[in-house]
Amino acid sequence: MDKTFEKRKKVIYDLICDEMYVPMKFKELAMFLQVPREQREELREVLKILEAEGKIYLSKRGKYCKGEAKHLTGVYLANPRGFGFVTTEEDSRDVFISEDDRNGAFDGDRVEFVIIREPDSRRREGRIVKILSRGIVRVVGIYRKKAKQNYGFVIPDDQKFDQDIFIPDEKSKGAVDGHKVVAELTSYGEEGKKPEAEWQFRYGTYLAQRRDPVFQNFLDKEKNTFERILENPQFASANREDREEIVGKIREIEACLASMKEG
């Protein structure tokens, strides 16, 4: 971080540590410090970092105080719309996590979090401060790549994984636009940067992935999906080529599953 940012952080921390300081909400703090509206996101970032460092915490009334809030652990459950919830073993009540407070967490991650608001008769709200372990290591989706680009993206099937995944050419292993792929995550992204993965396998490369339970589960689900399509009365009027394509995919999956059992 640059010296200007560190200087601002020190000014804000010194203010909160002052014995004359009265805990304030974000808007009150911004007005007290005379921070212009266009610079308030930077103030919010400073406060988040001070909170992550354990130097300040947000009270249940939403006011910034000196000291560290109690850190709790739980599992983050994502919603396709960007927000999510944390569940804990100690409390049956889940904690709402806004999109701005998820701190890079994805569905199934084990996280460390703090309570930032606890309104009367309403759901508690929290902020994730640390990812303890990842719940998703592989993602199934469609590979997309435009001509002349030296990279592509996987669009996940699971809508709870709400970001496209960057695949550099050197890790694409020959995948082409439209392939159904399973990608192994190598990074989970950060602000301004998408998650990154290494293309792992697609239809036609089964033998190299024998005994992989994740892949087997994926194939079982794909087979069931195609079988339901064939059984759908509305698909009965489909042209011969479409039906043969679906049947061909089912046979291909069955052959793969058989080879996995043999292996």
Give a yes or no: residue 223 inside a domain.
Answer: yes
pTM over 0.85: no
Question: Beta strand pairing status for 84-87 and 165-168?
Answer: unpaired
pLDDT of residue 105: 93
- Residue 153 domain boundaries: 138-202
Domain count, the chain: 4
Give a yes or no: residue 95 inside a domain.
Answer: yes
Give a yes or no: residue 26 inside a domain.
Answer: yes
pLDDT of residue 204: 43
Give a yes or no: residue 66 inside a domain.
Answer: no
> Do 51 and 86 belong to one domain?
no
Answer whether 43's CB lies under 8 Å from 32's CB.
no
CATH for 81:
2.40.50.140
> Do 196 and 212 belong to one domain?
no
pLDDT per residue as tens, the chain (263 positions)? 577 888 888 889 999 988 889 999 999 999 998 989 888 988 988 898 888 777 888 887 888 988 877 788 999 999 988 899 999 888 888 999 999 889 899 999 999 998 877 766 678 888 898 899 998 888 888 888 887 888 888 888 888 888 888 888 888 777 778 877 777 888 888 777 788 887 555 544 443 344 566 667 777 887 888 788 778 776 666 677 777 777 877 877 776 677 666 55
**Which of 90, 110, 133 is the endpoint of a domain?**
133
Give a yes or no: residue 151 inside a domain.
Answer: yes
Ramachandran angles phi, psi of 221, nearest 5°: -65, -40
Give a yes or no: residue 67 inside a domain.
Answer: no
pLDDT of residue 194: 84
User: Could you tell me which of 149, 108, 105, 107 has the C-alpha nearest to residue 128?
Assistant: 105
Give a yes or no: residue 193 inside a domain.
Answer: yes
Give a yes or no: residue 61 inside a domain.
Answer: no
Cβ neighbors of 61 (< 8 A, separation 6 or more) are 23, 25, 117
**Which of 202, 218, 235 is the endpoint of a domain?**
202
In the chain, the amino acid numbered 205 is T
Conformation bin of residue 204: beta by default, left when phi > 0, alpha when psi is -120 to 50: left
Q: Which residues on adjacent β-strands are paired with residue 221?
A: none
**Which of 187, 202, 217 is the endpoint of a domain?**
202
Structure tokens at 118: 């606890």
